[in-house]
Structure 1
Amino acid sequence: MRLTKTLLASLILAPSLAYSSVTIDVPSGIQLLTVNGKDAGYSNFGFDSKDNIVLDNGVNQLVFRISKIVMETGSDKTKFKSQPLVATFDAKDKDISISVPNIKTLQQGMEFNSKPTFELVSDSKALVGVKKDQLGLTFSLTADMAQEVKDYNQTNAVASLSHYSQSNTKTVDIQLDDDVYQSLKRSFKSASYEERKKFLTWAISNLEE
């Protein structure tokens, strides 16, 4: 009997366990540098790659770069590594992929570094609320990316964790204000004519408080 109950509980919990995390699909040519401030085990030469990573639901931060072979001049090829890019986002139970332009030449890579664009995509749509930035470092073989990201996150930069937390707090405050308005609106509509008159008289007399 106990075994039957255990199996039943496992079957009930299985769907929720399967969708209790965020999966990041990392396409070829993208190199993860840090994940939530921790070194992702990247190669300084840029030839490593990961198919996907699984993160907890909630706020996460990825720092990555484009790292691929591109055409330089004529038939010559070279390794292009973009400036590190930052994506900070809040997601729950989603499969997300990193989408970047298809850079084929060194010139395109240089233009990308000047004006980088990328998306985090889920269900064929850009994920809403992603904060994006570029670290703008001169990447070197000795760069300590975990330390660089730690320093970045202590600033007020757009995709820093400190700035993201402040932005979310403001969003919550605005949402609470809207909830109060909607509650008052519902109460006013359900009140009688006399009750509405009394409320309006009181509201106008206390408008400046």
Structure 2
Amino acid sequence: MKTVATLLSGLFLAANAHAAITINIPDNVQVLAVNAEKPDVEGGIFSSIKSLTLADGENQVVFRYTPYFSQGNDRVIVESNPVITKFTANNQELSLDLPEYRNEREAEKQIKNWQVVLVDQQNQPLTIAQDALRKDGMQIGRDFVQESKEYNRTNGVAALTSASAVAVTLPANIKVDSNTAEEMLHFWYQKADAETKAKFKQYINQQ
């Protein structure tokens, strides 16, 4: 009988052999959720640029733009609304093209209409479906992972399709190549829900 690693790594490594979408994240942008799960953004706390690594294909990311301004000895931060985005990319390095505001007053007037713009290394914009992730009432302590899941059930313009229900963020310590089948096996198995795990086991037992 074939091993679990052989069976499942074949399924997932084939789909993710070039899982190399990298998004450069400046320090004035927050990544609040990725594919309806907690984001895994790489980079130190004092890094001016961090990075988010995603699998090839369709992904959903919730961003918030937080430009800051000096006011005497203080730093004043202006926040945009959280924006939920959906896009498809393959083996690309992407960056955020952010608007610049002259001062806090201008930012407060214009940031409510902020739209996410992702550009490739040739500075060409990526096609993005996006929507404001709104919530009535108190905004402190929001659960953006849960809000993303609820948004996906509404079939909004930036909702994930059913085929994308499993998050595709890759952990930083996994390098996708032919020698990491077992690591990928454990990673994808843990990401699966109970029903999918049962299907995996049934498939394996039939081999």
**TM-score calculated relative to the size of structure 2:** 0.58
Between structures 1 and 2, the one with greater helix share = 1
Map 1:155-194 → 2, pairs under 5 A: 155-162=154-161
Partner residue of 2:125? 126
Give 1:141 deviation, angstroms. Answer: 2.9
Partner residue of 1:149? 148
Map 1:29-108 → 2, pairs under 5 A: 29-40=28-39, 51-70=50-69, 77-108=75-106
Partner residue of 1:115? 113
Gaps of 5+ in 2: 1-15, 165-207
Partner residue of 2:134? 136
Q: Would the aligned equivalents of 1:70 and 1:103 in 2 still touch at CA under 8 Å? A: no
Q: Distance in 2 between matches of 1:143 and 1:117?
A: 21
Give 1:76 deviation, angstroms. Answer: 6.4
The percentage of counterpart residues that share the same residue type is 29
Q: CA RMSD in A?
A: 3.3
Q: Would the aligned equivalents of 1:36 and 1:61 in 2 still touch at CA under 8 Å? A: yes
Q: Distance in 1 between matches of 2:144 and 2:35?
A: 12
Q: How many residues align?
A: 144
Partner residue of 2:27? 28
Match of 2:54, SS state, is strand
Q: Distance in 2 between matches of 1:88 and 1:116?
A: 16
Compared with structure 1, are the counterparts of its residues 57 and 162 closer, same or farther at alpha carbon in structure 2 (3 Å cutoff)? Answer: closer
Compared with structure 1, are the counterparts of its residues 125 and 106 closer, same or farther at alpha carbon in structure 2 (3 Å cutoff)? Answer: same
CA offsets, 1:1-51, max 9 Å, x none?
Answer: xxxxxxxxxxxxxxx96x542111112211111111112279xxxx99761
Q: Would the aligned equivalents of 1:84 and 1:135 in 2 still touch at CA under 8 Å? A: yes
CA offsets, 1:57-86, max 9 Å, x none?
Answer: 0000110111232257x8864221211012
Match of 1:126, SS state, is coil
Structure 2 letter corresponding to 1:92: N
Gaps of 5+ in 1: 1-15, 166-209
CA offsets, 1:132-152, max 9 Å, x none?
Answer: 221134673321111111111
CA offsets, 1:71-123, max 9 Å, x none?
Answer: 57x88642212110122101111111122212343333323343222311012
* Larger RCO (CA within 8 A; separation ≥ 6): 2
Q: Would the aligned equivalents of 1:31 and 1:48 in 2 still touch at CA under 8 Å? A: no
Match of 1:114, SS state, is helix
Compared with structure 1, are the counterparts of its residues 37 and 121 closer, same or farther at alpha carbon in structure 2 (3 Å cutoff)? Answer: same
Structure 1 letter corresponding to 2:88: D
Runs of 4+, deviation exceeding 4 Å = 47-50, 74-77, 162-165
Give 1:159 deviation, angstroms. Answer: 1.3
